Amino acid sequence: MPVDPVPSIALNFEDARLLVEQQAAQISTPATESVDLLVAAGRVLSEPVFADRNLPPFPRSTRDGYAVHSADLASLPASVDVIGEIRAGERIENIPKEMLAGQAISIMTGAPVPQGADAVVMVEYTKPHGPRVEIKRGVAIGENIVLAGAEAKQGGLLVDRGVCLDPATIALAASVGKSSLQVYKRPRVAVLSTGDEIVSIDATPSPTQIRNSNSYSLAVQIRNAGGEPVLLPIAPDEPRKLRALIEEGLKSDLLLMTGGVSMGRYDLVEQVLEELKAEFFFTGAKIQPGRPVVFGKCGAGALVRESTGTYVFGLPGNPVSTMVTFELFARPILEALAGLSPRKLRFVYANLKSEIRVKPGLKRFLPAILSGDFEASQVELVPWQGSGDVAATARANCYIVIPSDRDRIPAGEFVAILSR
């Protein structure tokens, strides 16, 4: 059935991104489940983690050496009585109750500093002489001691819900004895590749057919962003079959489509979404690659439950466009569906190795190689054949971000980078 074309609303990159972030902020958190701490990395925490006791639980020596009164070291070298030894894990009853002026206690890294001592001298600056020790360097009050509760107070919040668990947050959870954690369930993300020329990777393509690579790159990106990809069959450029598959995809928490959003006669995604009464937030962004990207929300026509609808992205079919537009626009929505607290798009900067010339007007995200040694990071574009060139993109390890008002960036300038 013929349908009217959807008027194109191409936004500036920043406006489009802002719109996505605004929608992401309205998404409510998903259901939760419990996971073992050992497999919790990469999951999104759904319960706050609190300190079950002070961290550290006792004043902790950060050095091997001697617990001292700093005032005893006013004139150097000093000589003081050694009245005992405290090892890490020393039983509380074995720790001297007091340490008088002129006394010191041998102490190990991680051991509790005894009452009376106000600093620890590193063993490197000491020399034992029988029951005494000679100290060659003074210390400030508090030196080499972390006070009880200085890192966190008992009952204090350590990690909030909405945080993606990484080695440091897992270590914190372990340090307060959480062997399992409540996390958000992963959202299901339907992936629908479209195009008459696209065939399954198991099929032998005819000379003019193209294997479906987009569903596979998207599956990786979806997993990295906390989702569970659900690959749908490839949709032909035929409205009825496309509509049936879109309706299927709308049953998931998010629908990502690739292809069929350009201006060609057989680019039908927008029209079919329009038939399904989709609300469009934008139908284009002034970027390269990925200009025809579509973002909307759709209630799946007759299929909708009382839900408020499913977010839908029509990502351009060129493989690099698909990857870039996922990162720029689909990721914040998926992260919100996964329960992650919103975060801004952040770029790092690196020194440009060779000059870039482009036509102004679009914000560009071009495949590039970040290299260099230690603090001297350098970046340069990889030669490519445009947004279909997944081979060049595979040789790259990041994208250089080129502002839309620049036509030339000289070598040596610091340029923004989107990492992959």
C-beta separation of 82 from 131 below 8 A: yes
Query: What count of Cα atoms within 13 Å lies in the side-chain half-sphere of residue 42?
Result: 10
Residue 46 or 194: the one with the smaller Cβ distance to Mg ion is 194
- Report which of 415, 418, 321, 287 is spatially closest to residue 11, judged by C-alpha positions: 287
Residue 291 or 363: the one with the smaller Cβ distance to ligand AMP is 291
| Touching ligand AMP, residues 335-354 (CB under 6 A) | none
Q: For residues 100 and 84, what is the distance between their CA atoms, to the nearest angstrom?
A: 12
Q: State the minimum distance, in angstroms, from the CB of residue 267 to Mg ion.
A: 6
SS3 108: coil
Output the six-digit token pair for 217.
């790159």
Is residue 221 close enough to count as binding ligand AMP by CB under 6 A? no
| Touching ligand AMP, residues 7-46 (CB under 6 A) | none
Give all strands (DSSP E) within 317-397, no chain letters: 348-352, 356-357, 363-373, 376-381
| Interface segment toward ligand AMP; rule CB under 6 A; list 73-81, 150-158, 253-261, 408-416 | 253-261
| Residue from the set 108, 210, 369, 382 that interacts with ligand AMP by CB under 6 A | 210
Output the six-digit token pair for 241.
């079959």
Output the six-digit token pair for 379.
């970046």
| Residue from the set 126, 252, 283, 318 that interacts with ligand AMP by CB under 6 A | 318
| Touching Mg ion, residues 293-352 (CB under 5 A) | 317
Is residue 388 close enough to count as binding ligand AMP by CB under 6 A? yes
Is residue 262 close enough to count as binding ligand AMP by CB under 6 A? yes
Q: For residues 290 and 395, what is the distance between their CA atoms, to the nearest angstrom?
A: 20
Residue 270 or 335: the one with the smaller Cβ distance to ligand AMP is 270
- Report which of 139, 254, 128 is spatially closest to residue 191, judged by C-alpha positions: 254
Q: State the minimum distance, in angstroms, from the CB of residue 257 to Mg ion.
A: 10
* CA 66-67-70 angle, 5° bins: 110
Residue type, 297: K
Is residue 258 close enough to count as binding ligand AMP by CB under 6 A? yes
Cis ω before 77 (30° cut-off from 0): yes
Residue nearest to ligand AMP (CB): 317
Is residue 195 close enough to count as binding Mg ion by CB under 5 A? yes
| Residue from the set 40, 119, 139, 198 that interacts with ligand AMP by CB under 6 A | 198
Site string for Mg ion, 209-248 (x = CB under 5 A): ----------------------------------------
First to last CA, the chain: 41
The phi, psi pair for 248, rounded to 5°, reads -65, -45
Residue 350 or 390: the one with the smaller Cβ distance to ligand AMP is 390
The residue ranges that bind ligand AMP (CB under 6 A) are: 193, 195, 197-198, 210, 212-214, 258-262, 264, 267, 316-319, 388
Residues making contact with Mg ion (CB under 5 A) = 195, 259-260, 317
